[in-house]
Structure 1
């Protein structure tokens, strides 16, 4: 076999293999585009996709795009903590992720001092805010439910009609 003929056969065979690989990759990409991946993190926040019932908690999870457990983890508080402690953690984390205020402009030029890098994150700060909002909305929902149940209990006890008046005594007379 001559050398140019062998080279051409190698190129043609390689082209066929590459063509089949690209064709199969295209088919797989089209298949993946039609059906969402199971358990993939990306377009949906973890836990929000499972909030599909009509309960108020699931509605809050979809609305705030965050589960209550995730909000507690972000603020580093436990379930059932008092709101004052939650707000203390919130304020600390919010300030820690805030950009520092701009330094005042000196009137005289000062020598350049080496500055230590102060980092801030708008993303983390927004997550902290969303976590506080989620916990506050859950607490508000719980207090409203407690008020409703108290009002219903009061209404149930007062909704009974008063007992009928006693019948008049039978008259024993001669008429």
Structure 2
């Protein structure tokens, strides 16, 4: 076999392999474009894209862009914990992520040296705030549902009859 002929055959075989690879990559890209990945929900946070029913919980999840479980994880509280404890955790985390207080105007400016262990994050502070809002909204919905259920039960039943009088007439 001559040298030019072998080079041409190698080039043709390489071109075929490369062409098949590009064709398969194109098919896979078209398939991926048609159907989104199972775990992805676009720009939504996890769980928000799955909140598609008309229930109040799903509406709150879409409105606050945070699931109730995520809010509990952020504030490090368990489901069903009293609101007082939730607010204590909220205040602690909110203050921990706040920027340090500014010195009074009369004091001379201190050097801007960073103190180790003192960090603040507006992003984390806003997540803590949104988590508190989400839990409060869920509690509000639950209390409204309980009062409606309690109010409808009392209105659907007639008042009890008066006790029989034991007097002589």
- Class of the TM-score when normalised by the shorter of the 2 chains: 0.7 to 0.9
RMSD, aligned α-carbons: 3.0
Number of aligned residue pairs: 159
The Cα of 1:76 is off from its aligned counterpart by 0.5
Deviations 1:104-162 (A, max 9, x none): 7874886x86743643333322221221111000111111112222322332346x7x9
- The reply to whether residue 151 of structure 1 matches residue 155 of structure 2 is no
TM-score normalised per structure 2:
0.75
Q: Which runs of 5+ in 1 are unaligned?
A: 163-175
Secondary structure in 1 matching 2:48:
coil
CA distance in 2, matches of 1:98, 1:45: 24
Q: TM-score, normalised by structure 1?
A: 0.73
Unmatched segments (≥5 aa) in structure 2? 162-169
**What does residue 7 of structure 1 align with?**
7
- Between Structure 1 and Structure 2, whose CA radius of gyration is higher? 1
The Cα shift of 1:33 comes to: 0.8
Instruction: Check 1:113–1:122 CA distance in 2 against 1; reply closer, same or farther (3 A cut).
Output: closer
CA distance in structure 2 between the partners assigned to 1:123 and 1:24 by the alignment: 42
- Look up the SS of the partner of 1:49 in the other structure: coil
Residue deviations 1:9-50 (CA, integer Å, cap 9, x gap): 323322221122112111111111111222336544333333
